[in-house]
Amino acid sequence: MVGRAVPDAMWAAVLEGPGQRLQIERIRVPRPGPGEVLVKVAACGICHTDLHVIRGEVAFPTPAVIGHEVAGRVVEVGPGVDRVREGERVVASFIMPCGSCPACRRGRDDLCERFFRLNRLQGVLYDGATRLFREDGRPLAMYSMGGMAEYCVIPAHGVFALPESIPWRDAAIVGCAVFTGYGAVRRAADLRPGCQVAVVAAGGVGSVIVQLSRAFGAAAVIAVDVREDKLQAARRLGATATVNARQEDPVAAVRQMTHGAGVDVAFEVLGRAETFAQALSMVADGGRLVAVGIAPGDTAASVPITHVVRRGISIVGSYGARAGVDMPTILTLLAAGFIQPGAVVSEVVGLDAVPDAYERLAAGDITGRAVAVFES
């Protein structure tokens, strides 16, 4: 694999403009600059956040290549990279830290200033340029690394050696769903053994939060969703109780299960005003609402001020995790079996079926997580 020839062109999932269907298009293979690596993508997760971009609910420049949950093999390293070697299996965090801004230097690479300003707003890497071009030379924006493609360039601070025991299929959701779930449980919730939690929305990230809450010693994990198949899956992953919010009032049900007290931590994983308010109402006095779900840009939820003040409730936002310190721990937990991403992955598709998979995700027809796998 060292010295493996890299072709000039590749297939990629291109978003021409907001609201359009993805197109599988032939584009140029990118080249890594200083401090970057070229990865041959083996698997890439099909995530709701891409869907927000596809629908135009999150502002992002187009045309663009989406895909931000990548696992694959390093095939080329740019100058100055010593973290990984050619031929190494890696997984990438969707937050690709620059490694040198003030936030990165103080260990808060989840707030990397260059990532948010240059990649999330402009679709470029940290020299202000994209690495992706159409065959005629026109540029394509990169959502994170633009990973729904055969190859992608990733800043080296965003890649982590992947243990041989973890298959590509499972590794595909580590860089976003597992990373996000870990940040919520370990960082934002600071979960303590014996506590009680509620997880509102049991999709990909919610399923990971269920597993991690148990791994961190939660005594009760109540999964809330409107779909019975998702609730059954949550039970298999360790939820101690489930609430179908279509059949009963979820706040009353969670209160009843906790003898009126409410939960120490409620995770809101959907990003809707209604579920945000519900999750807040499930929190016990002195407890914490951890907001994980991303909403369309202008969404707001109302918060009962006196309730929050009088009852000492914390509201904490959580976006991803701290790549530099958390990804190695996450990979250790995976290798030890504390997190089983394979149990969340419900469907595997090839690149040709990716546009269709996003449409089914939009329709709510994917339980758990779909991933695209290009290499077995």
In the complex, the residues that contact Zn ion under the rule CB under 5 A are 47, 49, 98, 101, 104, 112, 114, 176
CA atoms of 301 and 274, how far apart (whole Å): 7
* Minimum distance from residue 101 beta carbon to Zn ion (Å): 3
* Minimum distance from residue 368 beta carbon to Zn ion (Å): 14
Q: What does R_g of the chain's alpha carbons equal in angstroms?
A: 20
Measured CA to CA in angstroms, residue 10 lies from 41, 62, 217, 347 at distances of 11, 19, 45, 24
Looking at residue 102, what DSSP letter applies? H
* Minimum distance from residue 108 beta carbon to Zn ion (Å): 9
* Minimum distance from residue 261 beta carbon to Zn ion (Å): 33
Cβ closest to Zn ion, residue 49 vs residue 240: 49
Do strands 132-133 and 64-65 pair parallel, antiparallel, or not at all (unpaired)?
A: unpaired
* Minimum distance from residue 104 beta carbon to Zn ion (Å): 3
Cβ closest to Zn ion, residue 97 vs residue 287: 97
What is the DSSP secondary-structure string of 312-349?
Answer: T-EEEE--S--HHHHHHHHHHHHHTTS--GGGTEEEEE
Measured CA to CA in angstroms, residue 282 lies from 40, 128, 207 at distances of 44, 44, 19
Copy the structure tokens of residue 5: 């020839």
Cβ closest to Zn ion, residue 49 vs residue 130: 49
Copy the structure tokens of residue 154: 């990733």
Q: Which residues pair with 290 in a beta bridge?
A: 267, 316
Copy the structure tokens of residue 135: 């065959």
* Minimum distance from residue 343 beta carbon to Zn ion (Å): 18
CB 151 within 8 A of CB 29: yes
Q: Which amino acid is at 337?
A: G
End-to-end CA distance of the chain: 16
* Minimum distance from residue 68 beta carbon to Zn ion (Å): 6
